[in-house]
């Protein structure tokens, strides 16, 4: 494992993950994938303070028109800081004697023979010493900043084509200490953007994490960007479609300043047998980048790692089957890609397209109908798909379609469905 940073021995941010100061969620499909790779990992993280947030019970969601009602747990989200989750994974890796981690080392290129990748060129950051690391299989997990296109060009190979859908978002995050009365028992609050709103795209998320803290992120499209000064951040929260998050922040204690981030577009490499040379696999954000507001990036990376493990057990590092392994890895992100891009295409600020906006809008109306029908069968199917626990075909199950067609539209709530104890958070 080639790692550019010096990895901290405790949960702490690092330069290689500039977005780690922002809100991260791990949906249950990704959490189960991590536990498959590292048994009981999520239980260990929860023991260290991460929050198990049942869906939809403790995930209060405001969509266009009002708040959805609370229902019994069907799926869940793991709420914690990115540094805590990374630290727990690193701790497991360091205990595995089969894994060698080369820290403070850059991957600077690939090596190939006869059209096949046979290793990686690396360079020590301290000494500048270059080295060729031979490998039966090279996996590019360098994230959204991957230089894979450049590396392939240097080898005389064609770069891998890609598609992009750019929501042109900016988001800001600030950490708060929750009021004492709800420091370990408050739900997540998600205020979604309204595609039909005249004022542009604005959304917000309050996510309970470890140590009685809230990670709060506000998002805006170009022209609606949230500022990162204390007053600007508060003002951005106040401009959301509902004032719940802003009112909660008035009663909470800020921990440090806000941080801003402009994420990359939804970006997908078209990895096929014709575009990927034998001996090379691409995984995680190096393969597909998602709009972070949907919370799928970490889960897709974990599911991709499971696919990599399973396919290597099946085929071994046989170069003739590299593209088959890549196909399985890429497939785990298909649902997340469709959800992110179809949602982003509803907004006029979005550039690029992989489908017609009309199709995205029809899909959005269908999803709204599902949400407002309010039956447990529909909620269970929707959450299974959202958390990447089941394929999108679950939404086409006969029971789901029947409930959607014959069920009345449930009235949304004007105010968040909080318990009397939870309302103490407002001070």
- 56 contact partners, CB below 8 Å, separation of at least 6: 68, 70, 71, 74, 379, 383
Would you state the pLDDT for residue 264? 81
How much of the chain, in percent, has pLDDT values that exceed 90? 75
Q: What is the CA radius of gyration of the chain?
A: 22
Whether the per-residue pLDDT at 24 is higher than 90: the answer is: yes
State the Cα–Cα distance between residues 83 and 146, nearest whole angstrom.
21
Residue 243: both structure tokens together: 């004032």
Whether the per-residue pLDDT at 354 is higher than 60: the answer is: no
- 3-class DSSP state of 213: strand
Whether the per-residue pLDDT at 424 is higher than 70: the answer is: yes
Would you state the pLDDT for residue 362? 61
Mean pLDDT of 46-56: 96
Mean pLDDT of 75-87: 97
pLDDT in tens, 260-280: 999 888 999 999 877 889 999
Would you state the pLDDT for residue 200? 83
How much of the chain, in percent, has pLDDT values that exceed 70? 94
Higher pLDDT, 319 or 154: 154
Run of H or E including 43: helix 41-47
Count other Cβ atoms within 10 Å, centred on residue 399. Answer: 12
Mean pLDDT of 123-133: 97
C-alpha dist (Å) from residue 106 to 4, 73, 287: 5, 44, 19
Q: What is the DSSP letter of 373?
A: H
Would you state the pLDDT for residue 425? 92
Higher pLDDT, 319 or 104: 104
Q: Which of 61-65, 101-105, 288-292, 407-411 has the lowest mean pLDDT?
A: 407-411
pLDDT in tens, 178-237: 999 998 899 999 999 988 887 889 999 999 999 999 999 999 998 889 999 999 999 999
- 127 contact partners, CB below 8 Å, separation of at least 6: none
| Confidence band of 373 (pLDDT split at 50, 70, 90) | low
Would you state the pLDDT for residue 371? 62
Q: Which of 29-38, 247-256, 360-369 has the lowest mean pLDDT?
A: 360-369
| Confidence band of 252 (pLDDT split at 50, 70, 90) | very high
For residues 219 and 240, the answer to whether their CB atoms sit within 8 Å is: no
Mean pLDDT of 381-392: 94
Would you state the pLDDT for residue 201? 92
Rounded to 5 degrees, φ, ψ at 339 are -65, -45
Would you state the pLDDT for residue 319? 78
Count other Cβ atoms within 10 Å, centred on residue 371. Answer: 19
pLDDT in tens, 30-50: 999 999 999 999 999 999 999
Would you state the pLDDT for residue 366? 63
Look at phi and psi of residue 49 and say left if phi exceeds 0, alpha if psi is from -120 to 50, else beta.
left
Q: Which of 104-108, 323-327, 340-344, 372-376 has the lowest mean pLDDT?
A: 372-376
Mean pLDDT of 164-178: 96
Domains of the chain: 105-165+264-339 (3.50.50.60), 169-263 (3.30.9.90), 340-406 (no CATH)
Whether the per-residue pLDDT at 361 is higher than 70: the answer is: no
Average pLDDT, the chain: 91
């Amino acid at each position: 494992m080639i790692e550019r940073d010096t990895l901290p021995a405790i949960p702490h941010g690092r330069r290689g993950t500039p977005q780690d100061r922002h809100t991260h969620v791990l949906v249950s499909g990704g959490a189960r994938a991590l536990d498959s790779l590292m048994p009981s990992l999520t239980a260990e993280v929860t023991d260290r303070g991460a929050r198990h947030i049942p869906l939809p019970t403790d995930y209060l969601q405001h969509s266009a028109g009002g708040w959805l009602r609370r229902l019994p747990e069907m799926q869940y989200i793991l709420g914690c800081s990115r540094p805590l989750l990374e630290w727990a994974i690193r701790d497991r890796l360091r205990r595995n004697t089969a894994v060698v981690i080369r820290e403070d080392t850059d991957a600077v290129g690939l090596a190939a023979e006869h059209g096949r990748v046979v290793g990686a060129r690396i360079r020590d950051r301290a000494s500048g010493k270059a080295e060729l690391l031979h490998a039966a299989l090279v996996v590019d997990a360098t994230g959204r900043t991957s230089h894979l296109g450049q590396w392939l060009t240097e080898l005389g190979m064609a770069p891998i084509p890609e598609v992009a859908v750019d929501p042109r978002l900016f988001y800001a995050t600030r950490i708060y200490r929750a009021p004492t009365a709800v420091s370990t028992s408050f739900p997540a609050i998600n205020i979604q953007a309204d595609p039909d709103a005249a004022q542009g795209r604005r959304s917000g998320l309050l996510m309970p994490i470890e140590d009685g803290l809230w990670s709060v992120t506000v998002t805006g499209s170009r022209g609606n960007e949230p500022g990162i000064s204390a007053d600007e951040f508060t003002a951005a929260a106040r401009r959301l479609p509902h004032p719940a998050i802003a009112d909660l922040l008035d009663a909470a204690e800020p921990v440090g300043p806000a941080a801003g981030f402009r994420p990359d577009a939804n970006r997908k490499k078209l990895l096929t047998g014709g575009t990927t040379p034998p001996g090379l696999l691409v995984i995680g954000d190096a393969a597909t980048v998602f709009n972070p507001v949907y919370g799928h990036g970490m889960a897709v990376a974990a599911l991709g790692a499971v696919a990599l493990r399973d396919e290597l057990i099946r085929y071994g590092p046989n170069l003739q089957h590299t593209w088959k392994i890549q196909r399985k890895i890429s497939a785990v992100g298909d649902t997340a890609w469709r959800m992110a891009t179809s949602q982003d295409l509803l907004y006029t600020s979005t550039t690029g397209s992989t489908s017609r906006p009309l199709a995205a809008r029809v899909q959005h109306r269908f999803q709204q109908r599902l949400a407002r029908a309010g039956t447990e069968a529909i909620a269970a199917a929707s959450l299974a798909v959202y958390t990447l626990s089941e394929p999108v075909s679950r939404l086409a199950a006969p029971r789901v379609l029947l409930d959607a067609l014959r069920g009345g539209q449930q009235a949304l709530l004007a105010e968040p469905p909080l318990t009397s104890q939870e309302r103490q958070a407002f001070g």
